[in-house]
Structure 1
Amino acid sequence: MVEQVTWVDRVRVKATLKHDIGRTALAEFFGTLVLVLIITSVVAQNVLPKAGLGNALIGVNVGVACGIAFGIALCIRISGGHINPAVTLAFLVLGAIRPLKAIAYMFAQVAGAFVGAMLTYFLYNDAINVFDAGTRRVEGLKATAHIFASYPGAHLGWAGGLFDQIIGTAVFVLIIVHTVDRRNAYPMWVRPFIMGVGFLMIGTAFAFNAGYPLNPARDFGPRLFTLVWGWGSKTFSFNDFGWFWIPIVGPLIGGVLGALAYNFIFGFHTPIEDQYEVVATHELKPISEKIVTHTHTEEHTALNP
């Protein structure tokens, strides 16, 4: 009996990206888009309602954790689900990803974050206009820029902010590397949720100083959006240019430190019973195609990350 070939099968043959970097970068773009869309929307629901109607901080933490988990889950089988340049750099240092692919990932992550912030803006545009009367502010009671990017608490200096981002990201990447080590036997399907719970833990511990961005793309992409969409240069010049670079540099340093800490404290001492796996260790093999005819069904090889 001949299996019926649907239009979806026919389109798949034409639309499937054959280039490894293109396919994985697209996955990183969309995974980061979803991450930032969820995070910024959660924050918007906390900032915009009248007093007493917003979510409690735990609601923000849970929403952010869900965004992390689902963003990773969407693209983990294709690209490894980095959705964070700090994670990508950490795995580059570990030798788990090629430099060219790492660069493509980082550009895709920033672009995805920009578009995710833009979608949140259009989703909450009316509410933002009611809240700030159409005047976009970075500071003050009617400020809305912090819906999209991080801004430090009044108590926080640049050194404390940098340390905050380094430590928070180091803990998160340590959790990630622990989770993807096959010797720890986490099934593929459960890994995004372990990472999401890990980020929930970090949020409950480290949110006070600056809202724990811990992701250069998640912070820079939305900040760039607010720069070009009405908030102006203050988004970067805030605190005499003493903040915008911290959620970029701090996580990049912290991610590498977290990955190395896992290996030196745990990984190097764990009995080798299976292949050590870090995200995107293996290159994806090209997808093969067979011409679909009326008497033959279409066949595809599975992705083999």
Structure 2
Amino acid sequence: MQFDISRRLAAEALGTLLLVCTVVGSGIMADRLTDDVALALLGNTIPTGAILVVLITILGPVSGAHFNPAVTAAFLMRREIEPVAALAYVVAQVAGGILGAIVAHAMFELPLLQASMTARTGTAQWFAEIVAAFGLVFTIFAGIRFRADSVPWLVGLYITAAYWFTASTSFANPAVAIARAFTDTFSGIRPVDVPGFIVAELAGAVLAALLAGWMFGGLYAKPQAEAAE
């Protein structure tokens, strides 16, 4: 079933809103419940991975469940989305993400509009974001190629793991990075640090799209055994 652009944009905005609301809200809750930073990060990690499984499953059939400008850019490279639609997706994702941070603040009786003071910058963190975004986009493309029905779980599990093996805790998403600049809580990032993360995330997504295109040939090509039938 094909959905019109207004429904697809609504799905992208809603999905990114709920994703950021989960990231920010679980971070606030974890920070309030424990002074152990490692335990708080775990409390932030599990809900984020879980909500991705849910959101991709329920909204994937509507919009493709990008929720991420880097993912949209990768699909644009693959010519799986038109440029105008891709731009509209990005606007919806960023707007939804910012609103998600505001919703999280409202639930915890915090000022709705904030600017983060948490510094996240430096070569190691930028490189970590390249790795994080590369792994995310490559996981998506490989999942679509071989196990399309498993993509929600693959993405959720990848992000859960990447929270812990990357120095940056795996933002891997320009819309989420922008939204997290609007929260001075556990998951925040200073606005001045956001551009470096965005550049790194887009670079990782481009590299993943290029490698997946070479390694898998046609993204939706049938395996050789099927093609021979």
TM-score class, shorter-chain normalisation, is 0.7 to 0.9
The alignment status of 1:271 with 2:223, answered yes or no, reads yes
Answer yes or no: is the 8 Å Cα contact 2:174–2:198 preserved in 1: yes
RMSD, matched Cα: 2.8
Match of 1:252 among 180, 187, 202: 202
AA aligned opposite 2:35? A
| Alignment partners' CA distance in 2, 1:83 and 1:247 | 17
Q: CA deviation at 1:40?
A: 0.8
The 1:54/1:29 distance shift into structure 2, 3 A limit, reads same
Q: Secondary structure at the match of 2:62?
A: coil
Q: How many residues align?
A: 218
| Alignment partners' CA distance in 1, 2:40 and 2:190 | 26
Q: Secondary structure at the match of 1:68?
A: helix
AA aligned opposite 2:43? G
Q: Secondary structure at the match of 1:83?
A: coil
Structure 1 unaligned residues grouped into runs of 5+: 1-17, 130-135, 140-145, 228-233, 276-305
AA aligned opposite 2:172? L
User: What is the TM-score when the length of structure 1 is the normalising length?
Assistant: 0.64
Q: CA deviation at 1:137?
A: 7.8
The alignment status of 1:219 with 2:183, answered yes or no, reads no
The alignment status of 1:197 with 2:147, answered yes or no, reads no
Report Cα offsets for 1:14-72 as digits up to 9, x if no partner.
Answer: xxxx9822111111000111111111111112223353599443332211111222222
| Alignment partners' CA distance in 1, 2:70 and 2:17 | 16
The 1:248/1:267 distance shift into structure 2, 3 A limit, reads same
Q: CA deviation at 1:74?
A: 2.7
The alignment status of 1:68 with 2:26, answered yes or no, reads no
The 1:74/1:58 distance shift into structure 2, 3 A limit, reads same
Answer yes or no: is the 8 Å Cα contact 1:45–1:55 preserved in 2: no
Answer yes or no: is the 8 Å Cα contact 1:36–1:116 preserved in 2: yes
The alignment status of 1:22 with 2:6, answered yes or no, reads yes
2:128 match: 164
Answer yes or no: is the 8 Å Cα contact 2:162–2:169 preserved in 1: no
- After TM superposition, the structure 1 stretch with the greater mean CA deviation from structure 2, 23-32 or 59-68, is 59-68
Answer yes or no: is the 8 Å Cα contact 2:115–2:190 preserved in 1: no
2:31 match: 47
2:148 match: 186
Answer yes or no: is the 8 Å Cα contact 1:84–1:216 preserved in 2: yes
Within a 5 Å distance, the mapping from 1:1-305 to structure 2 comes to: 20-49=4-33, 51=35, 55-125=39-109, 138-139=116-117, 151-152=119-120, 157=122, 159-181=123-145, 184-187=146-149, 190-206=150-166, 209-223=167-181, 225-226=182-183, 235-236=190-191, 241=192, 243-267=193-217, 271-272=223-224
| Alignment partners' CA distance in 2, 1:214 and 1:53 | 21
Identity over the aligned pairs, expressed in percent?
28
Report Cα offsets for 1:84-127 as digits up to 9, x if no partner.
Answer: 000000000011110011001000000110111001001112xx
AA aligned opposite 2:130? I
| Alignment partners' CA distance in 1, 2:32 and 2:74 | 36
1:293 match: none
Answer yes or no: is the 8 Å Cα contact 2:139–2:155 preserved in 1: yes
User: What is the TM-score when the length of structure 2 is the normalising length?
Assistant: 0.83
Answer yes or no: is the 8 Å Cα contact 2:27–2:41 preserved in 1: no
Answer yes or no: is the 8 Å Cα contact 1:31–1:81 preserved in 2: yes
| Alignment partners' CA distance in 1, 2:85 and 2:60 | 15
Structure 2 unaligned residues grouped into runs of 5+: none
| Alignment partners' CA distance in 2, 1:86 and 1:37 | 19
Q: CA deviation at 1:180?
A: 1.2
The 1:52/1:251 distance shift into structure 2, 3 A limit, reads closer
The 1:22/1:235 distance shift into structure 2, 3 A limit, reads same
Answer yes or no: is the 8 Å Cα contact 1:47–1:54 preserved in 2: no
Q: Which has the larger radius of gyration?
A: 1
1:4 match: none
| Alignment partners' CA distance in 2, 1:259 and 1:98 | 16
Q: CA deviation at 1:247?
A: 2.0
